[in-house]
Structure 1
């Protein structure tokens, strides 16, 4: 799945206390097509639980995939690990 498809199908798993926040650390779990293994990467995203945050996450992941020669449609799960308060 792509980032957008994964959010639509599974949502974002929340693994922290969600308090009013401006940014968060989001982990994307994916199948690494370079070696066929499950893998993950983290991104700091502004407003991670909003449409704006999802668009930023999608952009960051696409760039990550381009740099690492990984397909963008290999996302398995998205998890919010922490947030930073205002």
Structure 2
């Protein structure tokens, strides 16, 4: 019988990387609210900050650390914020 060891990076690769933000993406919310200029910039910064905190918490909950956590959080925040445009 073989024992298979998976490092945290390998485990993270096996986990589904989904957005942890509730509701629509930040970009979609800003568009829906018809924000523009400084108001949109401020909204997007706060939304991204909130998404980062949520994604970091999710990574810790899933016991993902190091480079895997960085990768997980980056992907999670990107999904939460949505396409910039």
Instruction: Report TM bin, short chain.
Output: 0.3 to 0.5
Structure with the larger helix share: 2
Structure with the larger strand share: 1
TM-score, scaled relative to structure 2: 0.43
Structure with larger Rg: 2
TM-score, scaled relative to structure 1: 0.42
